[in-house]
């Protein structure tokens, strides 16, 4: 079967490995079989919901539960179309699938800096293993790369043509450079072996189900505001980010996987806010009594970030629908519920 996908240079790659004979049979009633690595995490579990709710897929999640949790998937455990495998992507995995969404990688800076060597292994060996699987079974593979490939950007907003400004030896490099190598591997497998690839560059995404102690800014501010703690704005507070609500992100990933373009494609919400503005929004929309203070920042924190999403609009017909003003209260409702449950499960211990 000829690959219709064009790569970033507009070049049509050689034909991909053939999918299984079952998949090619016009008599098959089999559902599309989809592997989601990192499917127990924040974005992954929302993606699993979307794939399972369609009713036309079998979904296999492979996750080592480093930053994800079975809780995120509890509504699907036991469903005949769903399988959950405890698996570390730095090891090989042999499963017969048609599509692979490769998300496995800790995403919060606190988590990815915890064991930086493991983060690099996850990005490099994990992506190699998933590409090897894609090659063996003829599956299409999508990598969730990141806006961090642009580093501390010298161009603003960031287009896909920008090559980035990344410190190769800093404390964020395990993630930033790891994802850059993962992208390189995707395109080399595409050019050399004809693998059908899709590369999404995701910009800061937030929403229900983020870990309450995830450490990223939106979850930190909301959890702090709801717990009556002071919000920690890292200096100088004028650094910017563009925040995308998770349902919009899942829709973008789905369109990219099922469209004809390899990417890389920026997926994010172009609305740009300083961290001080974010703290003010949390105060206004969620907890009027909330306060903030400026605290020390970490090295190499990008000073500004905003996606140019012209390609996603043109090639995927995609753009985010949910504004930060709409998304923050939706996330806060989920956090309120979970903090309440946490408190009530703590009570017997205190008694």
Ligand X SMILES: NC(=O)c1ccc[n+]([C@@H]2O[C@H](COP(=O)([O-])OP(=O)(O)OC[C@H]3O[C@@H](n4cnc5c(N)ncnc54)[C@H](O)[C@@H]3O)[C@@H](O)[C@H]2O)c1
Decide: 104 and 90 in contact? Cβ < 8 Å: no
Q: Which of residues 128-147 bind ligand UGA (CB under 6 A)?
A: 146-147
| DSSP class of 165 | B
Q: Which is nearer to ligand UGA, 83 or 300 (CB)?
A: 300
Q: Which of 99, 130, 103 is nearest to 35 (CA)?
A: 99
Q: Which is nearer to ligand X, 58 or 88 (CB)?
A: 88
177 interacts with ligand UGA by CB under 6 A: no
Single out the residue of 44, 153, 252, 302 in contact with ligand X (rule: CB under 6 A).
44
Provide, rounded to whole angstroms, the least separation between the CB of residue 217 and ligand UGA.
3
Q: Which of 74, 36, 90 is nearest to 58 (CA)?
A: 36
Q: Which of 242, 157, 143, 159 is nearest to 199 (CA)?
A: 143
Three-class SS state of 258: helix
Q: Which of residues 200-259 bind ligand X (CB under 6 A)?
A: 202, 204-205
State the Cα–Cα distance between residues 191 and 7, nearest whole angstrom: 9
Residues in the chain: 351
Q: Which of 63, 49, 253 is nearest to 143 (CA)?
A: 253
Partner touching 245 among ligand UGA, ligand X, none, CB below 5 to 8 Å by kind: none
Q: Which of residues 185-214 bind ligand UGA (CB under 6 A)?
A: 202-204
Partner touching 234 among ligand X, ligand UGA, none, CB below 5 to 8 Å by kind: ligand UGA
Single out the residue of 20, 115, 281, 297 in contact with ligand UGA (rule: CB under 6 A).
297
Decide: 273 and 243 in contact? Cβ < 8 Å: yes
Provide, rounded to whole angstroms, the least separation between the CB of residue 219 and ligand UGA.
8
String of contacts with ligand UGA for each residue 230-249, x by CB under 6 A: --xxx----x-x--------
Single out the residue of 144, 242, 247, 262 in contact with ligand X (rule: CB under 6 A).
144
Residue 175 annotated in active site = yes
State the Cα–Cα distance between residues 207 and 46, nearest whole angstrom: 10
Partner touching 7 among ligand X, ligand UGA, none, CB below 5 to 8 Å by kind: none
Buried b (16+ CB within 10 A) or exposed e, 159-188: ebebebebeeeeebbbbbbbbbebbebbbe
**Which one from 101, 112, 175, 292 is the annotated catalytic residue?**
175
Provide, rounded to whole angstroms, the least separation between the CB of residue 218 and ligand UGA.
7
Single out the residue of 20, 65, 81, 156 in contact with ligand X (rule: CB under 6 A).
65
- Cα→Cα distances 101→61, 105, 139, 144, 192, Å: 10, 12, 10, 8, 21
* Binding range to ligand X, per CB under 6 A, among 6-14, 60-68, 76-84, 269-277: 60-68
C-beta atoms surrounding 4 within 10 Å: 10
122 interacts with ligand X by CB under 6 A: yes
| Cβ-proximal residues to 300 (8 Å cutoff; 6+ apart), any chain | 151, 152, 167, 170, 171, 172
Count of residues in contact with ligand X, rule CB under 6 A: 29
63 interacts with ligand X by CB under 6 A: yes
Provide, rounded to whole angstroms, the least separation between the CB of residue 232 and ligand X.
18
216 interacts with ligand UGA by CB under 6 A: yes
Enzyme catalytic residues:
175
């Amino acid at each position: 079967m000829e690959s219709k996908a064009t790569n970033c240079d507009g070049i049509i790659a050689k034909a991909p490995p053939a999918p299984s004979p079952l998949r090619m049979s016009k008599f098959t009633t089999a559902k599309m079989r989809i592997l989601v690595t990192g499917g127990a995490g924040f974005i992954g579990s929302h993606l699993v919901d979307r794939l399972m709710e369609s009713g036309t897929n079998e979904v296999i999640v492979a996750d080592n539960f480093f930053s994800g949790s079975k809780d995120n998937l509890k509504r699907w455990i036991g469903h005949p179309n769903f399988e959950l495998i405890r698996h570390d992507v730095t090891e090989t995995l042999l499963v017969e699938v048609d599509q692979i969404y490769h998300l496995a990688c800790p995403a919060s800076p606190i988590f990815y800096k915890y064991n930086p060597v493991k983060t690099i292994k996850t990005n490099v060996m994990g992506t190699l293993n998933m590409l090897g699987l894609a090659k063996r079974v003829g599956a299409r593979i999508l990598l969730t790369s990141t806006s961090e490939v642009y580093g501390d950007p010298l161009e603003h907003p960031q287009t896909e043509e920008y090559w980035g400004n990344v410190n190769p030896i800093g404390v964020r490099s395990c993630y930033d450079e790891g994802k850059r190598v993962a992208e390189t591997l995707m395109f080399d497998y595409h050019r050399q072996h004809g693998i059908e690839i899709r590369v999404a560059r995701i910009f800061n995404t937030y929403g229900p189900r983020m870990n309450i102690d995830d450490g990223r800014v939106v979850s930190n501010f909301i959890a702090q505001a709801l717990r009556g703690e002071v919000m920690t704005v890292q200096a100088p507070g004028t650094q910017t980010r563009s925040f995308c609500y998770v349902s919009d992100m899942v829709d973008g990933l789905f369109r990219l996987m099922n469209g004809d373009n390899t990417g890389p494609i920026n997926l994010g919400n172009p609305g740009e806010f300083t961290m001080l503005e974010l703290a003010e929004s949390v105060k206004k929309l969620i907890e009027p009594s909330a306060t903030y203070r400026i605290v020390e920042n970490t090295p190499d924190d990008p000073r500004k970030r905003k996606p140019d999403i012209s390609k996603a609009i043109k090639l995927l017909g995609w753009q985010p629908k949910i504004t930060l003003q709409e998304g923050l209260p939706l996330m806060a409702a989920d956090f309120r519920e979970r903090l309440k449950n946490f408190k009530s499960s703590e009570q017997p211990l205190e008694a």
